[in-house]
């Protein structure tokens, strides 16, 4: 196990209550200031000297949670925007699952090894509809940031899924023939 892990901002040190995130709606009023409000609630961006860069190093010990990989503020924001666009209207666990599936791709040798390249990958066409239709550019809500945080802490309700789809919206034969992992909300997660 790595002794040091690079992670996004100090909010990962705080344990959040996923039930609290369930109460957040996709109200457009929440979208506009959600990143700033999320940072404020977690104490991010204050001039406390805790975060000299976008990344901070944490010593991995018994008191701290295990976090996956290296993610900076831009990675977190992009991943939260993808979660928001893909899983708006889905249960909270479905939002965590979308984030986890992207992180699983980053961890897989079959895909690029960073958030930006996974999200914007077009080798076999757009990997995510919100990239194609522009929804990726909408601001994420607080529940999406919470879901990303939870996925980075290691919660993977997909059991290692690399992709997902909504059977009511996708007729893609490739994804429909992937090994089934789990169904959450309207999404089917596949390996």
pLDDT digits 0-9 by tens, 30-69: 444 566 665 566 555 444 334 434 333 333 332 334 456 6
| Confidence band of 125 (pLDDT split at 50, 70, 90) | confident
Lowest mean pLDDT among 17-26, 41-50, 87-96, 164-173: 17-26
Note the pLDDT tens digit of each residue in 129-172.
999 999 999 999 999 999 999 999 999 999 999 999 999 999 89
Per-residue pLDDT at 57: 35
**Residue range 88-94: mean pLDDT, rounded:** 97
Residue 89 CA to residue 153 CA, distance in Å, equals 23
Contact 153, 123 (CB under 8 A): no
| pLDDT at 73 > cutoff 50 | yes
| Confidence band of 87 (pLDDT split at 50, 70, 90) | very high
Residue 110 CA to residue 124 CA, distance in Å, equals 13
Q: What is the mean pLDDT of the chain?
A: 76
Q: In order of start, what are the domains of the chain with their CATH numbers?
A: 4-156 (1.10.10.2520)
* Side-chain-facing half-sphere of 122: CA atoms under 13 Å: 6
């Amino acid at each position: 196990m790595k002794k040091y892990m690079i992670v996004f901002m100090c909010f990962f040190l705080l344990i959040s209550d996923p039930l609290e995130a369930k109460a957040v709606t996709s109200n457009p009023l929440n979208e506009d200031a959600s990143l700033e409000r999320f940072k404020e609630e977690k104490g991010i961006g204050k001039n406390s000297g805790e975060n000299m860069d976008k990344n901070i190093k944490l010593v991995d010990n018994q008191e701290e949670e295990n976090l996956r990989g290296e993610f900076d503020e831009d990675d977190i924001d992009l991943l939260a925007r993808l979660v928001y666009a893909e899983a708006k209207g889905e249960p909270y666990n479905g939002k965590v699952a979308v984030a986890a599936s992207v992180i699983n791709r980053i961890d897989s040798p079959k895909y690029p090894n960073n958030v930006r390249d996974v999200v914007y990958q077009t080798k076999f066409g757009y990997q995510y509809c919100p990239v194609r239709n522009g929804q990726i550019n909408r601001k994420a809500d607080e529940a999406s940031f919470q879901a990303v945080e939870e996925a980075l802490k290691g919660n993977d309700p997909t059991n290692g899924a690399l992709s997902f789809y909504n059977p009511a919206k996708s007729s893609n034969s490739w994804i429909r023939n992937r090994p089934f992992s789990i169904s959450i909300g309207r999404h089917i997660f596949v390996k």
